[in-house]
Every structure is written in C-alpha cells, then in structure tokens.
Structure 1
Amino acid sequence: MTRRLLVCLALCVASGGSKALEKKSRVHEDEPLSRMEHDDHKNHDYDHEAFLGPDQAKAFDQLAPEESRRRLGIIVDKMDSNADGFVSEEELKDWMKRAQSKYMYEIMEHQWKDFDVNHDDVISWEEYKNVTYGSYLEGTQTDSVYNHSHMMLRDEKRFKVADTNGDLTADKHEFVAFLHPEEHEHMKDLTVQETMEDLDKNRDGFIDMEEYIGDMHSLKEGEEEPQWVKEERKQFSEVRDKNKDGKMDREETREWILPSDSDQTVTEAKHLLQETDANQDQKLTKVEILNKYDVFVGSQVTDFGEALLEHDEF
C-alpha cells in the first residue's frame, strides 16, 4: 500500500469518527504556529511555540529563569535586524516566520531519506513516483477507491512547478515547496488550479453553488439539509461570490482558499507587542522583552535544564 494511500486512509478514518470533522474545508491556513490552546489566563504555551518553534519551546521550558533570560537576550539581538535598539512588530513577525519555516524544514528532513533513494542529495521525480506509487505502477494495487493515475499526474505537475530550475529533481527548498505549496508564492496559482479541477464538475471554468456545497456535503435522499450547509449557501452568496454572478471564478476561489487575512504571525506579533510594550510606543526594547521573558520563552525550573540547548548560538 502506498504512502499516499495510507495518509488518505488515516484521514478518512479521522473524519469518519468525528461529527466535528463532518464539514470539510478547502481553506489553506498557514502551518499552525502552535498546537497549544491560546489561553493566556492558563499559560503562555502557545506564545512560546509561536515564538521559538515547538522543539526549542520544549527545551526552553526546562531552563532556569536566569538561563531563559540570558538566551532570550541573544535572540532579541538577532531579531533587531536593523540594529536600532528596538524590536518592531515587523521584526517580531519575521522572526516567527523563520521559526515556522525551520519547523517545516525539520519535518521535511524526516521524509527526505525515504525519497532520496540513491543518496545524491536531490529527489528526482522518478524517485518520488516510485516510492509513492510503486505498488500502483507494478499493477499490484487492487484498491479501486482511489484514482492513483489522477493523483500521480497531479503530483507530477506540482513537482515540475516546484522544480524552479527545471532539472526534474528537487533540492530541499524545492521539496518543501512541493510538500507545502500554499506557503510559497510561486506555487499558489497551482493550488488554486488544483481546487478548480477538483470542484468544477461541469468543466465550465467556474465553481457554482452546488459544486461548492457538494464538495463539503453529500445530501442523501430524504435527508434534511443540515443547518451548517444552509449557512454555507448563504456564505457562498454573500461572501464568496463577490461579483454576484452565481459562481466563483479563479480570483474568487483564490480568496476563498488562500485568504489574504489568514497570516497567524501578524496576529501573534500584535499580541506579543500588546503583552510586552510597557510604554505603548509600538516597539519593544530589550528590557521590556526580558521583563516579560515568561511570555516569550517560559520556564519550569528543573535539575537537567542546564544541559539543554547547548548550541553555538547560545
């Protein structure tokens, strides 16, 4: 069974086991800054992961307060990219985007060795195809539920768009773009195209209301339409279909699945600024940040904390 099929089956099991997941969403959100609940009344775990990335946040949580402050001070100096003595909202946002990108690359590294079969530090389309669709290509895959041929053609098209130098191999930057197209500007048109191909059943180049609803919910004969479906119909008419012609074109589809206001780093940067900016001048000094070190990095004093994060940058 292919790697892709296993993923599909896992998603089907997850969605079938929870009514909360009954409503399918095509909206591409950024990779989450944190899996933690964002509730500052309980703790600042969300802020820690958003600011440091999950792995560093776990390590920082084990450090004594004085060590957390010392290492945070080093980070603050790096954040102040224009060396003016302040950290702006934009510098906070840029820092968190780097942490987010670093986490994506770490996930990619775990997958890299599975696909770089000949260990030449690039992944060719042939390598990716054989690893992912090997059983299907050999004719041993009898499961007819999934259209492997369609999936393979889509992956090949995406691979070629991610392959910016056109050599039919992907280095690590190109492979990350292939895995996370919604996060890369040069891949976003393809993401819209893939969505249009999925939903535009009558192939007229648009997504009408029934195609939009049909992607989320299949109404059985005699079944009353759920309230959330009625709300989605209203959303389609009032929000999605901006020019009120009864269908979504490419630009309307793009705004739906890749909303321009979905940047979590902007929201979190504003939140950290609000929590930390003692004199309300819309920028942070190193002192202001260190005074609120628990918001940024936290601490659970432990005996083994000093052994963690012994990296050159600290």
Structure 2
Amino acid sequence: MQLLFLGMLALLVRVTFAVPAQEKRVHRQPDLSDHVHDDAHGYQYDHEAFLGKEEAKTFDQLSPEESKERLGKIVDRIDTDKDGFISHAELQNWIKHRQRKYIEENVDKHWKEYDQNKDGKIAWTEYKNTTYGYYIAEEFDDVDVDDKVSYKAMLTRDERRFKSADRDGDGIATREEFTAFLHPEEFDHMKGIVIQETIEDIDKDGDGQINLQEYIGDMFTPEDGESEPDWVTTEKKHFSEIRDINKDGFIDASEVAQWILPGEVDQADNEARHLIHETDQDNDDKITKKEILANWNMFVGSQVTNYGEDLTKRHDEL
C-alpha cells in the first residue's frame, strides 16, 4: 500500500510541474509588480515588472564592474545608426526586439516538449496527453476531489484557448497558432480569451465582473495584523477613478479590455521614455553610452537587457 501511495504521489508531482505557467493565466499589461513605481525608493517595480521576481535576482550575481562592461556592449548594439547616441526609437525597438526574442525562446522550449511525433505541428491531443494525461487517467479517480476538479477546469480552459488559437479549426496548431495559444495577449484574435480568463481569475463570486475587493485581493492579501501599504490605497483610487469607467462599482468585460489589452498601453514605448527621462542629463531627448553607464543599475533591471539574461551572454550571442 505504501508503495502504491508513493507511486501515485510521484505521478501527481510530475503532473503538477507539467502544467506550464503560461497556460494558467494570461499576461496582463499593468500592475506588474507589488511595489510602487517610485524610483526615489529603488527600482524594484522595474525589476519585477520587466524581469520577473526570480529573473531579477540575476542582476545580483554580477559585480558592478562586470555589469557596466557588458551593458556597454549592449549599448553598442542598440545604437543601430552608430552616431554615438541612443534615440527613443532605437531604445523602443531594442526593447520590442527583446520581447519578441523572449516569446520565441519560450515557444521553442515548449514546442520540443509537446510535438511528440516530430511532425512540425502540435495537435490538441498531443498537448492534452502530455500535460494532463497522467492526472485524468481513470486509475486516479480516487485522488483528492478538489485537486481533480481543479485540473479538469484547467484542461477545459486550455482546450477553449487552443480552439481559439487554432484558426483553421483542424485541431492541430502550427507554430504561429501555438504561439497564440501560449501568448494570447500578443494576438488581436485572442483578445476575447485574454479578457475572459482575466475576469475568471479575479472574479471570485462568479458574477462575471470584478468588484473592488476582488480587484485588490488579486494583488494583495494582508497577513494577520498587517497594515495596508500605501500602494493599495493608490490602487483603490485607480479602481474608482480609472478602471470603473461607468462608476457602477464593478469592472465589466469592456472595462477589463481597456485595462489590460496590449495596444492600449505600449510598454516598450513607456519604458523607453522612462529610461531616457531618468538618464538624459543634458535634456536633448537622446542618451549616450556614458549617460547609460552612469545609470547602469536602472538599465540592467529593465527590459533593455532581456530580463537580465543578456548580461550573462557573450556579445556575439545578442
């Protein structure tokens, strides 16, 4: 009996880690960090928003001297016209390039995992069996009910998203369709899925809209005796003054669309403007390598260095 239990546990652990984070929730544009975007008190917002909490730690592994040296090589790459200055357009284009590269690498990683028959396509059955096959097998009917229901809900959700990404409806995803499945926020025809999944994630009472408690609860759950941080007060104001456009006390689907969809907020444009504003010492709306290196801690914590990974790569790999 003990061996049977251990065998089931091992399979369940395998399944738990088989479900990619990308399929659990879509990426949302704003509110990318629990920290206030206040450079006067540090760059943690930028680090978490553009690096992710774990990737942000990469920067801490490098000495300031090594970071500056490698950042200087990246600056040379950004300066495409070789005039010695980094313009807003060059910086914005570089950030977008790094965003695209991140997505491509992420798709490559999962493609190898799910294209079981190596035919250059991924069928829904391949994805389903690879991700959920062990868990939904009949022999696991005695597994914890709540856990099983949770995975079945995730399976249903993934199937819905896969069908939306599968534009020709043949049940088989091309690379572009699989990219839309993993990163729906990047595709116009997936906007409905992005909105629907965001509401489902935050809407705890199931009424199809988001109230203030649900909105704040998605970002912050106080521990016993913990006081409410200032940024929560700010977010409450954002809810009532910005998010809730019709002032009915809820964020509905149309308001969620204006809140989260790419295109409404160009993060690459905003980040480029922010970096230039904070770095441009002579106010000429462009920055030099010297100005960038003087603010190296801000740059290595932003998308300009591709989640910190570029600083650990050789120059010719960028």
1:118 match: 117
Partner Cα separation in structure 2 for residue 95 and residue 247 of structure 1: 38
| Cα pair distance change 1:93/1:60, threshold 3 Å | farther
1:14 match: none
1:227-238 map, 5 Å:
236-238=239-241
Deviation of the 1:186 alpha carbon: 3.0
Q: In 2, are the aligned partners of 1:27 and 1:258 still within 8 Å (CA)?
A: no
Q: In 2, are the aligned partners of 1:27 and 1:256 still within 8 Å (CA)?
A: no
1:62-77 map, 5 Å:
69=72, 71-72=73-74, 74-77=76-79
Partner Cα separation in structure 2 for residue 31 and residue 246 of structure 1: 20
Partner Cα separation in structure 2 for residue 196 and residue 291 of structure 1: 43
SS in 1 for 2:316: coil
Deviation of the 1:256 alpha carbon: 4.1
2:190 match: 187
Which of 3, 13, 16 pairs up with 1:6? 16
Which of 234, 239, 243 pairs up with 1:240? 243
2:144 match: 143
Deviation of the 1:180 alpha carbon: 2.5
Partner Cα separation in structure 2 for residue 4 and residue 149 of structure 1: 16
Deviation of the 1:236 alpha carbon: 4.9
With normalisation by structure 2, the TM-score equals 0.60
Deviation of the 1:193 alpha carbon: 1.8
| Cα pair distance change 1:211/1:131, threshold 3 Å | farther
Q: 244-253 or 126-135: which moved more?
A: 244-253
* Paired AA for residue 144 in structure 2: D
Q: Which has the larger radius of gyration?
A: 1
Deviation of the 1:158 alpha carbon: 0.7
Establish whether residue 29 from structure 1 lines up as the match of residue 39 from structure 2.
Answer: no
Partner Cα separation in structure 1 for residue 274 and residue 152 of structure 2: 46
Deviation of the 1:115 alpha carbon: 1.0
With normalisation by structure 1, the TM-score equals 0.61
Query: In proportion to residue count, which structure has more helix?
Result: 2
- Give a deviation string over 1:217-258, Cα, whole Å, max 9, x none: 9x9xxx99x968x96877655543321234433111223444
Percent identity over paired residues: 35
2:316 match: 311
| Cα pair distance change 1:143/1:255, threshold 3 Å | farther
| Cα pair distance change 1:149/1:184, threshold 3 Å | same
Q: In 2, are the aligned partners of 1:93 and 1:269 still within 8 Å (CA)?
A: yes
1:98 match: 97
Q: Which runs of 5+ in 1 are unaligned?
A: 12-24, 299-306
Deviation of the 1:138 alpha carbon: 2.3
Establish whether residue 272 from structure 1 lines up as the match of residue 275 from structure 2.
Answer: yes
* Paired AA for residue 190 in structure 2: M
| Cα pair distance change 1:26/1:166, threshold 3 Å | closer
Establish whether residue 130 from structure 1 lines up as the match of residue 129 from structure 2.
Answer: yes
Deviation of the 1:10 alpha carbon: 11
Q: In 1, are the aligned partners of 2:245 and 2:255 still within 8 Å (CA)?
A: yes
Deviation of the 1:99 alpha carbon: 0.7
2:284 match: 281
| Cα pair distance change 1:5/1:215, threshold 3 Å | farther
Partner Cα separation in structure 2 for residue 10 and residue 177 of structure 1: 15
Deviation of the 1:191 alpha carbon: 1.4
SS in 1 for 2:145: coil
Partner Cα separation in structure 1 for residue 103 and residue 264 of structure 2: 21
Partner Cα separation in structure 2 for residue 133 and residue 308 of structure 1: 35
Deviation of the 1:200 alpha carbon: 8.0
Q: In 1, are the aligned partners of 2:78 and 2:90 still within 8 Å (CA)?
A: no
Partner Cα separation in structure 2 for residue 72 and residue 267 of structure 1: 20
1:154 match: 157
SS in 2 for 1:29: coil
Q: Which runs of 5+ in 2 are unaligned?
A: 1-10, 302-311
SS in 1 for 2:139: coil
